[in-house]
Amino acid sequence: MNTAPNEQRPILSICIPTYNRDVWLDASLSIISEEIKDLGNDIEVVVSNNASTDHTEAVVKKHKSTWAFAYSCNSENCGAMRNMAKCIGMASGKYVWILGDDDFLIAGFLKKLLKLIRGNPDTPFFFVDMVIWHPKKEYKYGDSINCIENVDANYLAINSLEFKKYDKLKEIATYERGYFNAISNFILLKEDYSRAFQIGVNAGEEFTSVESTFPHSYYMARFLLKKPCIDVITKGLICSGTVGWKKYYEITWLKWFPELIILMAKNGAAKRNALNGRKNIIKSKYYVMLPKALRGEISNYEYFSWCKFIKDNFYIKDFWIVIYHILRGHRKTLLQFVWNRVKSIRTPNKTTLF
């Protein structure tokens, strides 16, 4: 979407890339339509449908009949990263905020956020915290999300906006904030977002590198850690805790997220926090995931190098403690892994992962 010269450019574009989450999208658009009523042309909403096969089209048609927003539907599924890049390209705002289709604005937050952005026009980065919601049921088309279960009511009443300014983004680049891997947690200038996803799209198939898994985080690590930022402490979003990384879950925790942490620390993020974050991943994830990796049962296993994995974790004591317990409890798995590697070395036309 291009803004005509005589039109005022929106301050913020809310971009929602979506795929097969009609009920979630319906609830999100209902909330947004109420939140933007008094905000005029300062806010625009953009939705990009990645060839959904559910009732997303019907949901969009229903909302477009009562309020205006930009919408596009892909003729075929182009992947999550390319759909996000398309959504960003459609935006005309100075800033872009990508909301997952399972993320809901907390009532009253958007108006206060917009005032904060207006008052800090030279700030390139805003971090927005969220509340994790764990639904009691699996929603399907025809259902109505009219209540948010298991969420502290105090989070749903925003009286004021608490925030803190920082001279450099690296000061809040921490494990506790996921090194900004959750895309709904931050707002960037459109040009920065566009460059980030151009890197991601050019990096090849998604979930095959840090750049194609977390293009936004990669870009921030490389180019924004020395820029000023504002940390919005007041929680502004409710995010469903039931939506996961699905088949990319293990490879993300074993490879891409640790590599993102290393990249962040290399470019200025606090090294001690980064190390503690990696220790936490090792202790909370590796007991279950490493045996699956030994059996070759993780998605994108061909991009997983045991040599690099051991090298990256070699000096972390907790890593070897986990390895020790895995070796004691999974002898058969280890022997099968070694035998498979021996066979791959003996067979010239097969590629070894060492």
- Tell me whether residue 249 is in a domain: no
Does one domain contain both 204 and 273?
A: no
Q: What is the pTM of this model?
A: 0.89
Q: Which helix (H) or strand (E) holds 350?
A: none
Report yes or no on 26 lying in a domain: yes
Q: Length of the chain in residues, anyone?
A: 354
Q: What Å distances lie between residue 340 and 57, 291, 343, CA to CA?
A: 48, 14, 5
Per-residue pLDDT, 338: 62
Q: Classify 233 as helix, strand or coil.
A: strand
Looking at residue 4, what is its pLDDT? 44
Structural domain includes residue 189: yes
Half-sphere exposure of 99 (CA within 13 A, CB side): 29
- Residue 268 amino acid letter: G
pLDDT for 77 equals 94
Asked if residue 280 and residue 233 are part of one domain, the reply reads no
Beta bridge partners, 174, equal none
Question: Helix, strand or coil for residue 254?
Answer: helix
Are 126 and 214 in the same domain?
A: yes
* pLDDT score for 336: 65
Q: Does 158 lie in the same domain as 204?
A: yes
In this structure, are residues 83 and 48 in contact, taking their beta carbons and an 8 Å threshold?
Answer: yes
| Whether 105 and 16 share a structural domain | yes
pLDDT of residue 264: 98
Tell me the pLDDT tens digit for each residue of 126-140: 999 999 888 888 888
Q: Do 69 and 188 belong to one domain?
A: yes
65 & 32 share domain: yes
Together in a domain, 37 and 110: yes
Other CB atoms within a 10 A radius of the CB of residue 282 amount to: 22
- pLDDT at position 106, please? 93
Same domain, 229 and 134: yes
Q: Give the domain range for residue 285.
A: 268-346
pLDDT value at residue 350: 45
| Partner residues linked to 165 by β-bridges | 230
Structure confidence at residue 140 (pLDDT)? 86
> Which domain-ending residue is among 243, 276, 292?
243
Q: 169 and 289 share a domain?
A: no
Residue 95, domain member (yes or no)? yes
70 neighbors 88 (Cβ within 8 angstroms): no
Cα–Cα distance for residue pair 190/195, rounded to 1 Å = 9
Cα–Cα dist 169/192, whole Å? 14
Same domain? 92 vs 37: yes
The conformational region for residue 239 under phi > 0 = left, psi -120 to 50 = alpha, else beta, is: beta
Ranges of the chain whose pLDDT falls below 70: 1-7, 243-245, 330-354
Is the residue at 2 inside a domain? no
Contacts of 180 (CB under 8 A, 6+ apart): 127, 173, 186, 216, 217, 220
Residue 174 in any domain: the answer is yes
Nearest to 170 by CA among 160, 180, 161: 180
Same domain, 171 and 275: no
In a domain, 7, yes or no: no
CATH number at residue 173: 3.90.550.10
In a domain, 3, yes or no: no
The total of structural domains in the chain comes to 2
